[in-house]
Amino acid sequence: MEKKRILYVMQEIMPYLPESQMSKIGRFLPQKTQESRKEIRTFMPRFGLINERRNQLHEVIRLSGMNLIIDDIDHPLIIKVASIQQARMQVYFIDNEDFFKRKFIFRDKKDKFFDDNDERTIFFSKGVLETVKKLGWAPDLVHCHGWFSSLIPLYLRTTYKDNPIFSNLKIVFSLYNDNFKESLKKQFIAKMKSPEMNDADLAYFADANFMSLYKSAIDNSDALIIGSADVNPELLEYAKASGKPILDYEEREDYHIPYNEFYDNIIGKE
């Protein structure tokens, strides 16, 4: 039988970004999943503080070249790739000069939340899915990590649901303590919506904030993982009330074992 395919959409991965709980999971979970006889693809944003020369990023010409339209403006999509040699693992980077050149992640040096974080998350989410389409690689399961990937479940259930690449998959969303207090711009719905979305899909974003992004991701996913010990209590309660399968927070060093058992319960083994 063919190996099961897992698509990881990560907000942070070591060593490209500083060590954190999320970046450590981004670094080691895909590797351990690959070693457990699954096929993987891993994506993250090419934030400007990532040193391309040191990490040997290079552009994948055959995947780059398309434009993504946000708010009637064309934004070139650039795809880069790097290898974590000791893990025998590739990481794909979603890049764009307007969105990812700055040497910060979500806030400037004065800790101000970037005004265009709304467009950045839309671009990243669509960029991942368009690139997977171009790869022709149909995942069995998509595992999203962090608020920056939170639109992926909604797009998969609406905009991309009839595409053969994404027609037969399950979605897992990991909840972390990556809260932000700011709201995204009021034009967020107009920028992120597609013809396939209905009023219920968009109702989450009347207040375009951290909670609305996470609640949309929870409702559009098949299963959930508690990725942090200190997830927002309201969010945790909302997740548990959803009735979806939940893997509780794992403190053990070999957390990848229950993660992969969780995957197997959702999509079956090879």
Residue spans of the domains in the chain: they are 5-267
DSSP-based three-state secondary structure for 113: strand
CB atoms inside a 10 Å sphere around CB 85: 8
- 184 has pLDDT over 80: yes
Crossing angle between the packed helical segments 210-219 and 233-241, to the nearest 10 degrees: 20
- According to the model, what pLDDT value does residue 269 have? 83
Q: Does domain 5-267 have CATH number 3.40.50.2300?
A: no
- 270 has pLDDT over 80: no
Find the radius of gyration of the CA atoms of the chain: 17
Closest CA relative to residue 223, chosen from 264, 268, 170: 170
- Kindly report, residue by residue over 41-99, the tens digit of the pLDDT: 999 999 999 999 999 999 999 999 899 999 999 999 999 999 998 889 999 999 999 99
Q: Measure the CA–CA gap between 205 and 217, rounded to whole angstroms.
A: 12
DSSP-based three-state secondary structure for 147: helix
Residues 176-180, mean pLDDT to the nearest whole number: 95
Measured in degrees and rounded to the nearest 5, phi and psi for residue 74 equal -80, 130
User: What amino acid is encoded at 167 in this protein?
Assistant: S
The residues near 161 (Cβ < 8 Å, ≥ 6 apart) are 167, 196
Q: Measure the CA–CA gap between 166 and 159, rounded to whole angstroms.
A: 10
pTM above 0.95, yes or no: yes
Q: Measure the CA–CA gap between 21 and 33, rounded to whole angstroms.
A: 18
DSSP-based three-state secondary structure for 71: coil
- Kindly report, residue by residue over 218-265, the tens digit of the pLDDT: 999 999 999 999 999 999 999 999 999 999 999 989 999 999 999 999
Per the CB < 8 A criterion, the answer to whether 143 and 40 are in contact is no
